[in-house]
Amino acid sequence: METDRDTRIDSPAMKGILYLGALILVLAGCGSQPHVESTVNVGAGGLCNFVLDWREDVYYPEPVAALPARAGSLGFAGAPSCRDILGGETGASRAVEVEQIAGIDPRLAIAAFADPHHGYFAAGTFVQLPSHPLHVFLVQKRVLKRCTTARRVVGTVTRNVESLTLRLDGGRAVRVLVDPRTRVAGLSRDGFPYVALGRRVAVATVRCGGELVARRIAPVGSA
């Protein structure tokens, strides 16, 4: 694995950008008065249950068949509480207890208390990749088939939660999926593939149906 270690996410400014960029589409209408809950019901509460924020990093949920043992409480993460984004409870945010996963650095993934069905994975990391230590626990999604070679796209990463969204030079946004065949070259954090917000990358893609899927993600200027 190439090791152009990207540490810009550790700056307070970039952490703020990460939080806002990942949540801006799902937090519209949510207020800031927190209350504590011990569980998080992914999918039952609308778009606002999509992510957690722990220590200013964003974590996205993916379904898992199981997880390794929990290794103790990490305190509380923030979660929106828009149970009905069309007019129900939109004025509160929740505090969800989160736990460390045994043997896993919390900067890579965490678990939500009493939620055995999902892992929560740090934005910019991709549990879809076989190199992720929790990849084997992931509930595998449908493999996209009938793929044909598509174009190389170059742009700035504006969203890195589960998939990538790139802002191209002309201002147009392009969404690119990540799957087990994607290779991340020259971009890492703590020894694992990592694509930061604000990073300018070149992505070799294939088109599978109506979706663009990354085959290789590399920093601009990489061979």
d(CA 153, CA 126): 19
d(CA 206, CA 147): 6
pTM, entire model: 0.73
- Whether 169 has a pLDDT exceeding 70, the answer reads yes
- Whether 222 has a pLDDT exceeding 90, the answer reads no
The answer to whether 162 and 90 have CB atoms below 8 angstroms apart is: no
Assign 1 to helix, strand or coil: coil
What tokens were used for 41?
A: 């019901």
Whole-number CA gyration radius for the chain:
17
Q: Could you report the per-residue pLDDT of 13-41, keeping only the tens digit for each?
A: 444 444 444 443 333 334 443 444 444 55
- Give the confidence band of 94 by pLDDT, cuts at 50, 70, 90: confident
* DSSP assigned state of 136: G
Q: Within 10 A of 191 (CB to CB), how many other CB atoms are there?
A: 12
3 state SS for 32-48: CEEEEECCCCCCCCCHH
Q: Could you report the per-residue pLDDT of 58-77, keeping only the tens digit for each?
A: 999 999 988 889 899 999 99
- Give the confidence band of 188 by pLDDT, cuts at 50, 70, 90: very high
| Rounded mean pLDDT, 192-221 | 93
Q: Within 10 A of 45 (CB to CB), how many other CB atoms are there?
A: 20
Q: Could you report the per-residue pLDDT of 99-157, keeping only the tens digit for each?
A: 999 999 999 999 998 788 899 999 999 999 999 999 998 887 666 677 888 889 999 99
- Enclosing H/E stretch for 87: none
What tokens were used for 2?
A: 């190439």
Mean pLDDT, the chain, whole residue set: 77
Q: Within 10 A of 182 (CB to CB), how many other CB atoms are there?
A: 22
Residues carrying CATH 2.40.50.320, the chain: 147-219
Hey, what CATH topology would domain 147-219 get? OB fold (Dihydrolipoamide Acetyltransferase, E2P) (2.40.50)
Label residue 124 left, alpha or beta by phi (over 0 means left) and psi (-120 to 50 means alpha): left
Assign 20 to helix, strand or coil: helix
